[in-house]
Amino acid sequence: DWKKSKNSKEIKKFYHATSVADAKAWDISLDGKGYTNANPSFQIVTYMELTKKDWGILTNGREWRVYSLRSDSKHTTYFEIDLINILATKDTERFKYFYNFFRKEAFVKEASISDRCFLDFVFEDGQFYSQRVEANLQGHAYKVVDTICQGFLANIQNPTEDDLKEVYEYSMYYLFKLMFVLNCESKGLLE
């Protein structure tokens, strides 16, 4: 058990590895529940933490996932490729992602490039993109809420402070409901 041997020689021998990988049987689901060893995602993150590796691979042969300890939600956030689907559809573009993300060189830190690996650069670029999108969404959300508020206020003569608060609350409620419906629609859940 890895938890029990946390400080043992067993774990120390992995300190020089570039990353951690865990291969499950073909029919094992990689999506377990809870934070226990019955959950493969929990297991790989535990192995990464114990061996002090930033990156890890979890696979059952069909699904291939890359995990990062740098992620805020390290147990549930990962990059995933369905290799069988790629091979069955002969999708060479998606295969390039598999090749680039799961090859040994993706995990090897380059001293000449700030001691970072390919996955570090991809992760940092993703964070930067996420921050830009979030800032952009905040600006758009403010404009949308303002427009919704103006629509409600057009029907109120001489609004009071309480009216303004109520209009704002209902506008936010309406926006979140609209976002929920649009999200469900984009995932095909409403068909």
**Confidence (pLDDT) at 132:** 75
Tell me what the pLDDT averaged over the chain comes to: 84
Exposure class string for 47-63: b at 16+ Cβ within 10 A, else e: bbebbebbbbbbbbeeb
Q: Compute how many other C-beta atoms are within 10 angstroms of the C-beta atom of residue 3.
A: 8
User: Residue 60 has which token pair?
Assistant: 């059952």
**Confidence (pLDDT) at 114:** 74
* CA atoms 91, 92, 98, 101: torsion sign: negative
Is there a contact between 51 and 6 (Cβ–Cβ < 8 Å)?
A: no
The H or E element that residue 81 is part of is strand 78-82
pLDDT in 10s for each residue of the chain, 191 residues = 445 555 566 667 777 788 999 999 998 999 888 777 789 999 999 999 988 899 999 999 999 999 999 888 888 889 999 999 999 999 999 999 999 999 999 998 876 667 888 898 888 887 776 777 777 777 777 788 888 898 989 988 898 999 899 998 888 888 888 877 877 777 676 76
Rounded to whole angstroms, how far apart are CA atoms 107 and 153? Answer: 56
Q: Please tell me the pTM assigned to this model.
A: 0.65
pLDDT one-digit tens code per residue, 36-53? 778 999 999 999 998 889
